[in-house]
A and B are shown apart, each in its own frame.
Chain A
Amino acid sequence: MELIQLADVRKIYTIGGVTIDALAGVSLEIGVREFVAIMGPSGSGKSTLMHILGCLDSPTSGRYALKGRDVSSLRSDELAAVRNQDMGFVFQAYNLLPQMSALENVMLPLSYATKAVHDGRRKAEVLLERVGLKERMKNRPVEMSGGEQQRVAIARSLMMDPSIIMADEPTGNLNSKGAREIIEILKGLHEEGKTIIYVTHDDNIGAQAERVIRLRDGLVVADEGD
């Protein structure tokens, strides 16, 4: 059974009377433990695809099965539970809450957990140590570099032990050293058995993946493995 199955997924926006086919019928499958980069020029629909894969948005039509379960018609609370349990998100702009410390940010998914997590605080500390931020746990995001903030975000994405990590331009705001560090962490997670899906427009970053899906005008134009 494939982890992710998309069948003829479309996403149509209507803005000011003009309809835009952000996704014009995408069908693809992603298996367990794959390491996938989604690439394409801006406006190709790669972010829309990532949002649908991450259950942050619902398709206009088509079917999305996650672990064999149709999630394209779930209610918003059910989608929230899916995001909490099965997905970990890493964003280009880090998206940490500015009023909270690194540790509190990593622990935030616990607030919305539907299953109990044993000693969440200790777990968050271990995750932060793992991304090399043992000394920065009490710091707030404004006191950290971009690379450090993104590492906090990765620790947060791992808090609920999801099977899939979704990263939307995770290196987009970082210098090359910071970007390399993030890719190395993602590679490490992949080796541990996580499925990694990330969006990028940078060929060098895209080349790190085992499989590259290229989009143009809302359609898959290339899908190649290493």
Chain B
Amino acid sequence: MDLRDSYRNATRSIAGARMRSFLTMLGIIIGIAAVILLMAVGEGSKRNILAQIQGSGSGNLYLTPGAQSSILSGRNRTTRDTAAKITMADLKAIEDRVTYPIVVSPANTIGITIKRGNTTMAGTGTFATETYFEVNNLTIASGRPIVTSDVSNRTRNVVIGANVSSTLFPDVSPVGELVRINGMSFKVVGVSASKGQSLFGNSDNAVVLPLTVGEKSFGMQHDRISLTTIKSVNPDNSGAVVSQITSILTRKHGAADFSVLDQKSLTSLFSSTLSIFTTLLAAIGGLSLVVGGIGIMNIMLVSVTERTREIGIRKALGARERDILAQFLIESSLLSGSGGIIGVVFSVLFAKLVIQRFLPTYVTTSSILLAVGFSIAVGIFFGVYPARKAARLKPVEALRYE
């Protein structure tokens, strides 16, 4: 039987039971939509985060205490790592001995509450030095940044983010006003320009305070820097700077109890983690596709029973087992394949028109090809059993079937 005949036969029998075919396809449509939409959200978040890493300033290196990827887990895992620390003396050694021009910006961050009058908001407090603004590309919208004398004099001055400013000072200019941070009074000296979400939080909801104030007033441990950002003035040198810092600190500490990540290794670290996340989402979507496949199997079994007589007639006219097998497999894969295509069209539109408004989404070509291919594979896989059942019917028994 040639392929065009088979295809026409299959479309005719699908069209013959329109409602049933549609409901069967719906299982595949939903499954495919789940795969594509979940992958789109996964891929969208991945691209979003990677873009934030790119936007965090090329040539920036991140130095944290504790070996390997404590920057991702947020805490040090082992007791030995808990003992590991980066001190101001370490940073001084780095500044002195690295042979390329660099800018070093130590920072510690805690959650805080900021209050003015009766208005209170939660935010993050970043305790840093005057280099913080340059290294993080943070510009000052009004007033001035934290300066060297603020740090050395432990002055209770603060630079507030754009959202903090608009929340606490809706009516007046904040510069020169007082706010209470965790109950202590601080003077606002500047407001930073809005920058939005970045890799290490949202600077719009943050305030920047002198590094030395943290130790004095917020109970931070003496001389421990949790995150140091080091900017290589010429980004091309960042690889060489990483190896110099590594050798300086390893010699000084006697062990590699710290980690230095440049943008490239940070990108690959996040990229691989987020790919696992996307794969996991696709697998969850894949589950519903399997359920859709079982629906196809169910309907094909019904179809084989209903068409027992037709199978008998075809066999009497000379159809071989493989002809009947092909007929039912073409029908089931056509059902699942067209369900797959409808699912792709629907989910691409849904992703672009609806989900895009709430979540970063990105539909990749590979996810579309994967989904359509997988849907056809589901049709064949779940069609095999009913098709074999049909193919193996004895002609005389099939003809006798009422």
Please give the residue numbers on chain A whose beta carbons come within 8 Å of chain B beta carbons, in ascending order: 51, 54, 56-57, 76-77, 80-81, 83-85, 89, 91, 95-97, 99, 108-109, 111-114, 156, 160
**Chain B contact residues (Cβ within 8 angstroms of A): what range?**
20 to 34
Which B280-327 residues sit within 8 Å CB-CB of chain A?
309-310, 312-323
Q: 4 smallest A-B Cβ distances: which pairs?
A: A84-B318, A112-B318, A111-B1, A57-B396
Q: In the assembled complex, which residues on chain B have CB atoms less than 8 Å from the CB atom of A91? A: 399
CA distance A139 to B316 in the complex (A): 23
The one of B309, B312, B317, B320 in contact with A76, judged by C-beta atoms closer than 8 angstroms, is B320
Per-position contact with A for B259-284: 1 when CB-CB < 8 Å, else 0? 00000000000000000000000000
Contact A76 B318 (CB under 8 A): no
CA distance A202 to B179 in the complex (A): 110
Q: In the assembled complex, which residues on chain B have CB atoms less than 8 Å from the CB atom of A108? A: 314, 317
Contact A57/B321 with A95-B309, A97-B310, A108-B314 known, Cβ cut-off 8 Å: no
Q: In the assembled complex, which residues on chain A have CB atoms less than 8 Å from the CB atom of B320? A: 76-77, 80-81, 112
Q: From DSSP, what is the main secondary structure of chain B's interface residues?
A: helix
Q: In the assembled complex, which residues on chain B have CB atoms less than 8 Å from the CB atom of A83? A: 315-318, 395
Question: Is B247 an interface residue, CB under 8 A from the partner?
Answer: no
Contact A112 B319 (CB under 8 A): yes
Contact B315 A80 (CB under 8 A): yes
CA distance A76 to B318 in the complex (A): 10
Question: Is B111 an interface residue, CB under 8 A from the partner?
Answer: no
CA distance A80 to B317 in the complex (A): 8
Question: Is B195 an interface residue, CB under 8 A from the partner?
Answer: no
CA distance A132 to B70 in the complex (A): 89
Q: In the assembled complex, which residues on chain A have CB atoms less than 8 Å from the CB atom of B315? A: 56, 80, 83
Contact B319 A80 (CB under 8 A): yes
Question: Is B16 an interface residue, CB under 8 A from the partner?
Answer: yes
Contact A99 B316 (CB under 8 A): no
CA distance A80 to B396 in the complex (A): 12
Question: Is B394 an interface residue, CB under 8 A from the partner?
Answer: yes
Question: Is B5 an interface residue, CB under 8 A from the partner?
Answer: yes
Q: In the assembled complex, which residues on chain A have CB atoms less than 8 Å from the CB atom of B2? A: 111
User: How many inter-chain contacts with C-beta < 8 Å in the A-B complex?
Assistant: 65
The one of A51, A99, A112, A160 in contact with B314, judged by C-beta atoms closer than 8 angstroms, is A112
CA distance A180 to B394 in the complex (A): 33
- Closest residue of A by beta carbon distance from B391: A76
Contact A95 B399 (CB under 8 A): yes
Given contacts A111-B2, A112-B319, A114-B318, 14 further A-B contacts (CB under 8 A): A56-B315, A56-B399, A57-B394, A57-B395, A77-B320, A80-B319, A83-B316, A83-B317, A95-B399, A97-B313, A111-B5, A111-B319, A112-B318, A160-B318
Q: In the assembled complex, which residues on chain B have CB atoms less than 8 Å from the CB atom of A89? A: 316-317
Per-position contact with A for B112-143: 1 when CB-CB < 8 Å, else 0? 00000000000000000000000000000000
- Closest residue of A by beta carbon distance from B16: A99
29 contacts between A and B (CB under 8 A): A56-B395, A56-B399, A57-B394, A57-B395, A77-B320, A77-B321, A77-B322, A80-B318, A80-B321, A81-B318, A81-B320, A83-B315, A84-B318, A89-B317, A95-B309, A95-B313, A99-B12, A108-B317, A109-B317, A111-B1, A111-B2, A111-B5, A111-B317, A111-B323, A112-B1, A112-B317, A112-B319, A114-B318, A160-B318
- Closest residue of A by beta carbon distance from B398: A56
Contact B13 A99 (CB under 8 A): yes
CA distance A95 to B5 in the complex (A): 20
Per-position contact with A for B1-16: 1 when CB-CB < 8 Å, else 0? 1100100000011001
Q: In the assembled complex, which residues on chain B have CB atoms less than 8 Å from the CB atom of A109? A: 317-318
Expressed in whole angstroms, the minimum distance between the Cβ of A72 and any Cβ of chain B is 15
Contact B396 A56 (CB under 8 A): yes
- Closest residue of B by beta carbon distance from A112: B318
Expressed in whole angstroms, the minimum distance between the Cβ of A10 and any Cβ of chain B is 16
Q: In the assembled complex, which residues on chain A have CB atoms less than 8 Å from the CB atom of B323? A: 111-112
CA distance A99 to B323 in the complex (A): 18
Expressed in whole angstroms, the minimum distance between the Cβ of B398 and any Cβ of chain A is 9
Q: In the assembled complex, which residues on chain B have CB atoms less than 8 Å from the CB atom of A96? A: 313
Q: In the assembled complex, which residues on chain B have CB atoms less than 8 Å from the CB atom of A57? A: 394-396
Q: In the assembled complex, which residues on chain A have CB atoms less than 8 Å from the CB atom of B317? A: 83-84, 89, 108-109, 111-112, 156
Expressed in whole angstroms, the minimum distance between the Cβ of A124 and any Cβ of chain B is 13
- Closest residue of A by beta carbon distance from B1: A111
Q: In the assembled complex, which residues on chain B have CB atoms less than 8 Å from the CB atom of A54? A: 316
CA distance A83 to B394 in the complex (A): 14
- Closest residue of B by beta carbon distance from A113: B318
Q: In the assembled complex, which residues on chain B have CB atoms less than 8 Å from the CB atom of A51? A: 396
Q: In the assembled complex, which residues on chain B have CB atoms less than 8 Å from the CB atom of A95? A: 309, 312-313, 316, 399
Q: In the assembled complex, which residues on chain A have CB atoms less than 8 Å from the CB atom of B310? A: 97
Q: In the assembled complex, which residues on chain B have CB atoms less than 8 Å from the CB atom of A77? A: 320-322
- Closest residue of B by beta carbon distance from A55: B395
CA distance A51 to B313 in the complex (A): 13
CA distance A222 to B2 in the complex (A): 47
Q: In the assembled complex, which residues on chain B have CB atoms less than 8 Å from the CB atom of A97? A: 310, 313
CA distance A112 to B319 in the complex (A): 5
CA distance A99 to B314 in the complex (A): 13
Expressed in whole angstroms, the minimum distance between the Cβ of B395 and any Cβ of chain A is 5
CA distance A114 to B13 in the complex (A): 25
Q: In the assembled complex, which residues on chain A have CB atoms less than 8 Å from the CB atom of B309? A: 95
Expressed in whole angstroms, the minimum distance between the Cβ of B294 and any Cβ of chain A is 27
CA distance A51 to B400 in the complex (A): 11
